[in-house]
Structure formats: structure tokens, C-alpha cells
Chains A and B, each alone.
Chain A
């Protein structure tokens, strides 16, 4: 192995170690409210890591991931408010329950692919909030459910710091699980189903099993994210999960780079912060109707991101790496040619 190669592994390890370090230190570096936003980055991160398993690695598009988050959030709210279950215990339950729902939804979705599947999942995004509106005694109806405000169980940590640490601890765990799953046999099967379904079937990979499994995993991640969202805002109602949330999540996954788990970090940051970047931009340019303008700027930022890095953040990093390699080769070859001259 060349010294350059060994260096690369070291870099990767260091980069991975830097993330937990950042998670520990960032909350202390900014004002307390920033931690609250970091918690939301973590929530979106969990959701789009799951979405990436489904869309990036398994090739199934979901425009209904906000609905899975809604199921997770409502599980937390209902268990906690109606049945007095401790709020943090509801998180795994929300994951399992939403995962089971996603698995079951994956069954009829088997018959669909591409844009038809996208439409089917889209219908989920529009209908789940309506279902929540109907069963008022159980779900709180349109008025929703108010959960007790979160507070830090650890002395010395503010509520916002606690939410940030809690979310990122779970996010780290879920990231690790996704990473392990995807690098093994399951991940290979997912990719085979995505890239060459016929070849996959002929090598004994069951399309039905792996497609529904991918749905289940993705939904479980969204369920956990939804549970954390419910804890962080201490309130759920149908308006909390508009169709735009599902689109936002897919946007985040695409911006981060489909097929790359690390890229989701950037995607999550984008979901949480890009709207306020757009708002700042339109404020700086002194437009009258700041909000209308800010959505335009949001669109422009999104377009710019997709034009400049069509492979998402992960694609960009990959390209930069390749560019660096080429640069080195070019320098070596020049040195070589000079030596021979």
C-alpha cells in the first residue's frame, strides 16, 4: 500500500472521529438556541439516512416520508399522553411500529416502481394527516396533542443542549446500524435489486423480501425521527406534517447525495438551515415581501446546489478527491517527463 493510501484511511478515521467531537463541542460554542437547531439537524439526519437506504441504495422513491415521521410522532404523543408511557421509552416503540407499518406498506408498493411508486407514497403523505384528524378521541384531531415540555434530566445541561445530545446520540447509533447493514450481505442485495433486478432474481435474491425490508427500515428510521420531533416541539397535530415535509426530506437526501450515508449530514444541515439562509438573503436585499422572496431564493440556492454538485455533497467530495488524485498524477508525470528530458 502506498503511503498515500494509508494516509487516506487515517483521514477517514479522523474525519469520523471529528463528528462526535463536533457534536460534543458545537453546543458549547454557540448560543443556546443554536443547540435546538442542531437537534433538528439530527432529527432530519436520522430521517434521511433511512430514506437513503430506500431511495439511494434500494432505488425506490418515497415522497411520503413525512407520513412515516407523523406515525412515529403520534406514537410518542399517544403513548405518552394517553397511556403515561415515559417519553424516552416511546422512541424505540415508535421506530418498531412505524417500521412495521412501512413493511406492510411495502407489500402493495411492490407492484409499483418509479414514478408510480412515488405517487403511491405521495398519497400517504396527503392521507396520514387526514386520518389523524378523524379519530379525535385517540389522536386529538385537528387540535392535536400537547406533550409536557422537554427538560434536561442531567444537571448543568440546558434543555436545548440535552435535546441536541439526545438526538445526536441516537443519530450516531442509527447511522452505525445503517452503515453495518449496508456494507454486508443485505446492502449488497439492496444494491443488486436497485441496479439489476433480473440478475438479482436469477442469483436467488428475492425482490419482494428486500424491497419490503428496505421500506421497513426506512420507515423505522423516520418513525424514530418523528418521535424525536414530537419530543422536541412538545406538540403534534396534522399541520405539523404537511406534504412539503416529505418533499423537503427527499430534497435533503438528494442534496446530500443519494447512495452516500455521510452525505446525509450535509443534506440535514441543508434542510434545517437553507430556508433561513434564503430569508437572510432576501432581508439583505431589502425586499418588501420577504417571505415570497425567500422561497424564490430557496429555489435558487437549491438549483445552484444541484447544478454545482449533481451528485450531492457526497458526489462533490468524491469529485474533489478524484481531482486531487489527477492533480498528483499530473505532477508526478510532469516530474517524470522532466527527469527523462
Chain B
């Protein structure tokens, strides 16, 4: 018994000693030393959205490349190695919050970069802004990340990719111009993601909005879209918009093939239009069903052989070969998405100067005008300004045929935004 009392006493004394120690050791800018810039982000390496796991892998590959490359005799950015701490949140906001706090409070990262998923990132937006930690280039296209009124609420948060509303507006304008008599049907994911797309489409259609003949929603957890597909066919739809994440989008193609229906025009959102997902759609529904589908992109497509001699694509492939895990599928567009995003971050970090601060980084992020990204389509400018919080706003309409996407027409710019 005496021993236990002694032991407890030791614990108490130990605690008293450890307390001041635990609180010391803060530097001027968290996560920045002479040798290292430490950043982090949460990604779904496991769980329902784990198909997006290539994104942080692509980011890491580019950071490894920058860390090894000498600029003005120094490796990394201003001689600092970028240490990227990509952690798994399983797409579960409870874990996103815990791991983000861990990154900020325990690992003392300089910034949160590329965190994935609309809801998981929403769950930590208030926290990041309270702590004044940059939450930048989130991997979600929800319109809220760049909307002007929202920016005032979360000045430390910014997106990267073109937002869903802007993308859908491009489809709307294309239909209004090229398919003025279209009978439009929409199959959409019944959440804020799907509704962002519908809002954007309606804005793009303008006076042609009345041509939307049928809207069919599904829950992301539904295991069948048969009812929705049949209702759309019955409504006489000839132009179908598929606004869903990859799994239900593939299911929609398979269901249409199963009931023997192919509308004249099919549009699908870019999130689901990567090479990997299209390959699955073709396997499940047959090439005839999928061919002719229209979408958009803004990164170069590693699955398309027409880029084979492009310097940016060559760089992408060489970085992947050297720094990505051996089993990474180079043609998967998610890797180049991650790499293009990492490129933007490195540009911002350079612009923040040799002694970066969190506020300095945000200033660079929000005053960017970069035309040099080798992984984005030629002509795509990463640009932000006083009233523009969408770094990428240009997209290219593309059409799918026998395994590859080919561009249609010119880049479309959705700036300026209200």
C-alpha cells in the first residue's frame, strides 16, 4: 500500500514537472523551420470515398520531386523540405475533426492543404478559421468554398478546382446554344452536391430552363436507380444530365443499358468522368451506351495518348515513375489532379517569400496569377483576386469515345462570378 501511495506521489510530481515543459517550445510560425515546412491534410484512405485516395499520393509525389530538385543551389522551397502529412479520416467527420486538431495542435503544421470531401472539410472550417490556420485548396468543388459571402465567414479557407455550379452552367450554356430544342432530364444525387449542379445548370440554361422535363433524385446510399431511369425515359427525355458521384453514375449507365435506353445526349459531371471510372462504366454498360457522353476537364488527361509529347505530361509521368508507389495507375486522372494542386501550393509557398507566415501564405493564395502549371490544360490560369476566390475557373468541354476524351471547342471561362 505504501508503494502505491509513493507511486501516486511520483505521478503527481511528474505531472507538475511535465506541465511547463509541455507548454514551451513555440516558434514564430508553426510548422516552419530553417529546413522544413510541415503541412497536412485529411483524406479518405479508407471508407466509402477511398477511391479518391490517389489525390494525396499525387500531391506527395510532386512534393518529393520539389524536395529533391535544386533551385538556386538549394533543394525544396527556399531550402526547406515540404513535409506533407496526409492522414486518413475515412470520410468520417468525427475523425476529420480529431485528426485535423492533431495536425494543428500536436504536429503544428503550417497549413492544411488539399483536405478532401465537402462535409468533412465543412466540419473543420470553423476550427481552422478560429485558429487562423490556412485551410487551402480543399479537394471539393462545392460552390461555398469560393462564394463571396462565404469568404467573409471563412477568410482562411479556399478551394481550388472549378466549382460544381460553374461546371453545370457550362453544360447549360452549351445546351441553350447547340441543342435549343432539347428535352432535358436530370438524375441527381439528392444532397447539396447534386443541387449545386442543378442550380448551375438552370443558371446556364437561362430562358431554356423550362425545357427541363423531369428531375429524378437518388440518395447516395441507394443501391438502385432503376425507378429514376425509367421515369426519365417515360418523360421522353433526349438530353440526360447525370449529376452524381462515381458509383451511382456508373450504376446509372449500367441501368440504362439494362433497360435498353440511350438518350441522344448524355452529360456527366467531371468528378465521375475520370479514366478509371469511365473504364468501369464501359465494362458494366458497354461502350455503345457510354460513347458520346459529354463532360468537362481542366487538367491534362493522362489517359489520352494525344498528350504523349507534351512537356507537362512527360514531367508528370517521370515524377510518377520516380516518386509514386509502384502500383499507382498513371492514367488515373486523380493523380494528376493531386499533382496539379501540389504545384499550385508550391507556387503559393514561393510567393509567400523566404520567411513565410500563415497570413503571408493566405495573401499569396488570394492574390495569385499563375499561368505556368504544366499539369493543367494550356491556357488555364490559376487566378484569384479581391472578389474572386475560385483559383481555377476555366474548363474545357470534352466528349468520350472508345476509351478516351477529346476536347470540343475552346476553353470556357466562368469568370466573373457574382
- Least CB distance from B91 to A in Å reads 6
Q: Which residues of B contact A292 (CB under 8 A)?
A: 45
Question: Is A74 engaged at the interface, CB distance under 8 Å to the other chain?
Answer: no
Q: Which residues of A contact B377 (CB under 8 A)?
A: none
Q: Is A33 a contact of B192 with CB atoms below 8 Å?
A: no
Which stretch, A24-32, A169-177, A207-215, touches the partner chain B?
Answer: A24-32
Q: Is B93 a contact of A237 with CB atoms below 8 Å?
A: yes
Question: Is A152 engaged at the interface, CB distance under 8 Å to the other chain?
Answer: no
Q: How far is it, in angstroms, between the C-alpha of A26 and the C-alpha of B90 when the chains are bound?
A: 29
Q: Is B119 a contact of A291 with CB atoms below 8 Å?
A: no
Q: Which residues of B contact A141 (CB under 8 A)?
A: 191-192
Which of A33, A40, A235 is within 8 Å of B106, CB to CB?
Answer: A33
Q: How many residues of B contact A (CB 8 A)?
A: 45
Which of B22, B92, B119, B120 is within 8 Å of A242, CB to CB?
Answer: B92
Which of A21, A26, A146, A160 is within 8 Å of B8, CB to CB?
Answer: A21
Q: Which residues of A contact B53 (CB under 8 A)?
A: 291
Q: How far is it, in angstroms, between the C-alpha of A25 and the C-alpha of B22 when the chains are bound?
A: 13
Q: How far is it, in angstroms, between the C-alpha of A25 and the C-alpha of B17 when the chains are bound?
A: 11
Q: Is B105 a contact of A242 with CB atoms below 8 Å?
A: no
Which stretch, A7-15, A101-109, A302-310, touches the partner chain B?
Answer: A7-15
Q: Is A25 a contact of B12 with CB atoms below 8 Å?
A: yes
Q: Is B94 a contact of A142 with CB atoms below 8 Å?
A: no
Q: How far is it, in angstroms, between the C-alpha of A216 and the C-alpha of B46 when the chains are bound?
A: 33
- Least CB distance from B101 to A in Å reads 6
Question: Is A336 engaged at the interface, CB distance under 8 Å to the other chain?
Answer: no
A142 nearest in chain B by CB position: B191
Q: Which residues of B contact A229 (CB under 8 A)?
A: 94
Q: Is B325 a contact of A146 with CB atoms below 8 Å?
A: no
Question: Is B1 engaged at the interface, CB distance under 8 Å to the other chain?
Answer: yes
Q: Is B123 a contact of A233 with CB atoms below 8 Å?
A: yes
- Least CB distance from A4 to B in Å reads 12
In the complex with contacts A130-B219, A234-B126, A240-B1 CB distance below 8 A = no
Question: Is A123 engaged at the interface, CB distance under 8 Å to the other chain?
Answer: no
Q: Is B130 a contact of A291 with CB atoms below 8 Å?
A: no
Q: Is B192 a contact of A142 with CB atoms below 8 Å?
A: yes
Q: Is B88 a contact of A291 with CB atoms below 8 Å?
A: yes
Q: Which residues of B contact A144 (CB under 8 A)?
A: 93, 119, 122-123
- Least CB distance from A28 to B in Å reads 5
Q: Which residues of A contact B4 (CB under 8 A)?
A: 11, 14, 18
Which of A14, A25, A291 is within 8 Å of B15, CB to CB?
Answer: A25
Q: Which residues of B contact A28 (CB under 8 A)?
A: 15-16, 18-19
Q: Is A239 a contact of B92 with CB atoms below 8 Å?
A: yes
Q: Which residues of B contact A146 (CB under 8 A)?
A: 122-123, 126
Question: Is B71 engaged at the interface, CB distance under 8 Å to the other chain?
Answer: no
Give the residues from 43 to 69 in chain B that come closer than 8 angstroms, CB to CB, to chain A: 45-48, 53
Which of A21, A32, A149, A240 is within 8 Å of B130, CB to CB?
Answer: A149
Q: Which residues of B contact A7 (CB under 8 A)?
A: 1
- Least CB distance from A142 to B in Å reads 4
Which of B11, B45, B94 is within 8 Å of A291, CB to CB?
Answer: B45
Question: Is B213 engaged at the interface, CB distance under 8 Å to the other chain?
Answer: no
Question: Is B346 engaged at the interface, CB distance under 8 Å to the other chain?
Answer: no
- Least CB distance from A287 to B in Å reads 10
- Least CB distance from B119 to A in Å reads 5
Q: Which residues of A contact B181 (CB under 8 A)?
A: none
Q: Which residues of A contact B102 (CB under 8 A)?
A: 33
A14 nearest in chain B by CB position: B4
Q: Which residues of B contact A239 (CB under 8 A)?
A: 48, 91-93, 119-120
A25 nearest in chain B by CB position: B15
Q: How far is it, in angstroms, between the C-alpha of A229 and the C-alpha of B46 when the chains are bound?
A: 21
Q: Which residues of A contact B14 (CB under 8 A)?
A: 29
Q: How far is it, in angstroms, between the C-alpha of A127 and the C-alpha of B105 when the chains are bound?
A: 35
Q: How far is it, in angstroms, between the C-alpha of A144 and the C-alpha of B94 when the chains are bound?
A: 12
Q: Is A29 a contact of B18 with CB atoms below 8 Å?
A: yes
Question: Is A37 engaged at the interface, CB distance under 8 Å to the other chain?
Answer: yes
Q: Is A25 a contact of B46 with CB atoms below 8 Å?
A: no
Interface residues as binary, A131-147 with B (CB distance below 8 Å gives 1, 0 otherwise): 00110000001111010
Q: Is B325 a contact of A295 with CB atoms below 8 Å?
A: no
Q: How far is it, in angstroms, between the C-alpha of A23 and the C-alpha of B291 when the chains are bound?
A: 63
Interface residues as binary, B33-49 with A (CB distance below 8 Å gives 1, 0 otherwise): 00000000000011110
Question: Is B318 engaged at the interface, CB distance under 8 Å to the other chain?
Answer: no
Q: Is B105 a contact of A31 with CB atoms below 8 Å?
A: yes
Give me the 4 closest cross-chain CB pairs, A-B, nearest first: A291-B45, A235-B123, A142-B191, A29-B15
Interchain Cβ contacts under 8 Å between A and B, 28 examples: A7-B1, A18-B8, A28-B15, A29-B18, A29-B19, A29-B22, A32-B105, A34-B106, A40-B98, A130-B221, A142-B190, A143-B122, A146-B126, A233-B94, A234-B97, A235-B123, A236-B93, A237-B93, A237-B119, A239-B91, A239-B93, A240-B92, A240-B93, A242-B48, A242-B92, A244-B90, A289-B45, A290-B45
Beyond the given pairs A25-B11, A37-B98, 6 more chain A to chain B contacts, judged by CB atoms under 8 angstroms and listed by A's residue number, are A11-B1, A18-B8, A26-B15, A130-B221, A148-B126, A279-B88
